[in-house]
Amino acid sequence: MPIRTPGFFHTLACAVFITLCTQLVGCGGFPVQPQVKEEGGVRPESAAGSGAEALRVAQQMLGVPYRNGGAGPAGFDCSGLVAYSYAQTGIALPRTAREQYAHTRPVSIDELRPGDLVFFRLKSSTVSHVGIYQGTRKFIHAPATGKAVMIASLDNRYWRERWVRGGRIPAPSS
């Protein structure tokens, strides 16, 4: 006689419902300003708008597993996380880190604002990794197979040695 576990099916049904709702309403539904603060505790005006919204979406994806080619809540690669986060704000970005790099306006590390992109060269001579800057020299990214979406520091030696530049998404033209 099979063992029935109603708790399992209830949990599964809830997870499916939450996943569907998240996809339908853009990860949370109501626009909530992220709790982003720069040094000195001042909330920068630069965090307003689509960059702040994309950052909020990325923050909600913390812990989602890395998946090569992934571009949705079941799994992300680095550029998939960026494209997905911005898509939830109504901004379509190119799919690869290299294309996203070409799409942005160059920004130095000292000019970064929450929601800007950060680009790195990993094993090649071209840009091959991207994340979303969240402030206080930290960024959110989908690092590699076996890991999950996480926060990293630009001050970490690994990332510092591979830094290329920041990039700002151009304002949508009217």
The one catalytic residue among 10, 14, 103, 129: 129
97: containing domain: 49-168
Pairing of strands 150-153, 138-141: antiparallel
The one catalytic residue among 10, 14, 21, 78: 78
Annotated catalytic, 129?
yes
Q: Is 9 a member of any domain?
A: no
pTM for the whole structure: 0.73
Q: Is 5 a member of any domain?
A: no
Dihedral of CA atoms 105, 111, 114, 116 in degrees, nearest 10, equals 20
Q: Provide the number of structural domains found in the chain.
A: 1
pLDDT of residue 173: 66
Q: Is 6 a member of any domain?
A: no
**pLDDT-flagged residues of the chain (< 70):** 1-48, 173-174
Nearest to 100 by CA among 79, 85, 121, 81: 79
The one catalytic residue among 14, 21, 103, 141: 141
Q: Is 38 a member of any domain?
A: no
Annotated catalytic, 78?
yes
- Digit-coded pLDDT (tens) for 134-158: 999 999 999 999 999 999 999 999 9
* CATH code where residue 93 lies: 3.90.1720.10
Q: Is 69 a member of any domain?
A: yes
Q: Is 99 a member of any domain?
A: yes
**What is the Cα–Cα distance from 121 to 127, expressed in whole angstroms?**
5
Q: Is 56 a member of any domain?
A: yes
Q: Is 26 a member of any domain?
A: no
Annotated catalytic, 14?
no
